[in-house]
C-alpha cells in the first residue's frame, strides 16, 4: 500500500508539473499576442504554440479523468463478441496520419480476423495509449504494432519503439501489480534493435533521446488498470538507448463473474 501510494503521488506530482509547464507556455504565448509590433509570421507561430499547448492540456486532463474513474472503480467490463483483428487494423489506419506527422515509419502486422469475446472499447484504449506514447516520444526510428492468436485461450498484441527505453521506476510501476509473462523474447540482447518476432519487418534505424514525462506515465497507468480489468498479462522489455517492447496477452474469452 505504501508503494502504491508513493507511485500515485509521484504520478500526480509529475502530471501537475507537466500541466503547469503547458499552462505557462500558453500564458506566455497569449501575453505576447497582445503586442502590436508582432509580424504576421511571429503571430502565426505564437498562435500555433498556444493551440498545441492547449491541446496538450486537454489531452492530459482527459487522461487524468480516465485514470481517476478507473482508480475509483467506476468503469465496468462490457463483454461482447467481435473481430479484434479488424478492430486493430482500423485503429492502425487511424494512427497512420499521426505517425506521418511525426515523421516515423509505422509498421503493422497481424491477421485480418480473430474472433474473441471481450470488451472492444477497452482493448482499443489499451492499444491506442501504447501507440500514442510510442509515436509521441520516439523522435526517430520506427514504431511497430503486431498481434497474433497464440491458441484458443490467448492472443497477444505487441507495441515496440526504438526510443531510449523506460526508466526502472516506470517499469516497476507498470508490472508491480500484474504477473509478467515468463517467456520473454529477450529482444534487446543484441546491439541493434530488431523488430519483435511477431513482426517480420526489417530492423529499425538509430534514435535520439526521448522524453519520459508529458503524460506518458498517466497513459501507461491507464493501460495497467485496463489490463487488470480484462485479466490480461503485461510484459515489458526495455533497454537504455535501444527501445521498448510492450506485450499484452489477452484472453479470447472473458471470464464472467
What does the radius of gyration of the chain's CA atoms come to, in whole angstroms?
19
pLDDT at 205: 37
pLDDT tens profile 200-221: 343 433 333 333 444 456 778 7
Count of CB atoms situated within 10 Å of the CB of 203: 11
Residues 80/102, Cβ–Cβ less than 8 Å:
no
pLDDT tens profile 217-244: 677 878 888 898 899 999 999 888 788 9
What cell does 122 get?
Answer: 477497452
Q: What is the pTM of this model?
A: 0.67
pLDDT at 9: 61
pLDDT tens profile 50-71: 887 777 677 667 666 766 776 6
Residues 147/86, Cβ–Cβ less than 8 Å:
no
d(CA 229, CA 73): 10
pLDDT at 91: 92
d(CA 157, CA 139): 23
Count of CB atoms situated within 10 Å of the CB of 236: 21
Amino acid at each position: 500500500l505504501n508503494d502504491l501510494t508513493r507511485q500515485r503521488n509521484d504520478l500526480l506530482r509529475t502530471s501537475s508539473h507537466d500541466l503547469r509547464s503547458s499552462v505557462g507556455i500558453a500564458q506566455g504565448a497569449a501575453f505576447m499576442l497582445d503586442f502590436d509590433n508582432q509580424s504576421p509570421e511571429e503571430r502565426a507561430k505564437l498562435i500555433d504554440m498556444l493551440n498545441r499547448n492547449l491541446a496538450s492540456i486537454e489531452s492530459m486532463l482527459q487522461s487524468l479523468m480516465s485514470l481517476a474513474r478507473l482508480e475509483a472503480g467506476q468503469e465496468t467490463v462490457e463483454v461482447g463478441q467481435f473481430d479484434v483483428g479488424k478492430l486493430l487494423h482500423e485503429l492502425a489506419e487511424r494512427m497512420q496520419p499521426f505517425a506521418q506527422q511525426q515523421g516515423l515509419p509505422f509498421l503493422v502486422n497481424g491477421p485480418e480476423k480473430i474472433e474473441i469475446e471481450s470488451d472492444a472499447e477497452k482493448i482499443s484504449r489499451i492499444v491506442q495509449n501504447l501507440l500514442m506514447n510510442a509515436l509521441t516520444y520516439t523522435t526517430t526510428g520506427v514504431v511497430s504494432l503486431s498481434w497474433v492468436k497464440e491458441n484458443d485461450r490467448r492472443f497477444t498484441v505487441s507495441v515496440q519503439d526504438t526510443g531510449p527505453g523506460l526508466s526502472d521506476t516506470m517499469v516497476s510501476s507498470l508490472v508491480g501489480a500484474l504477473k509478467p509473462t515468463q517467456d520473454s523474447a529477450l529482444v534487446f540482447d543484441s546491439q541493434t534493435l530488431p523488430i519483435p518476432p511477431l513482426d517480420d519487418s526489417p530492423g529499425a534505424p538509430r534514435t535520439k533521446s526521448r522524453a519520459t514525462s508529458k503524460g506518458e506515465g498517466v497513459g501507461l497507468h491507464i493501460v495497467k488498470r485496463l489490463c487488470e480489468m480484462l485479466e490480461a498479462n503485461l510484459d515489458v522489455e526495455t533497454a537504455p538507448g535501444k527501445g521498448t517492447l510492450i506485450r499484452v496477452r489477452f484472453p479470447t474469452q472473458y471470464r464472467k463473474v
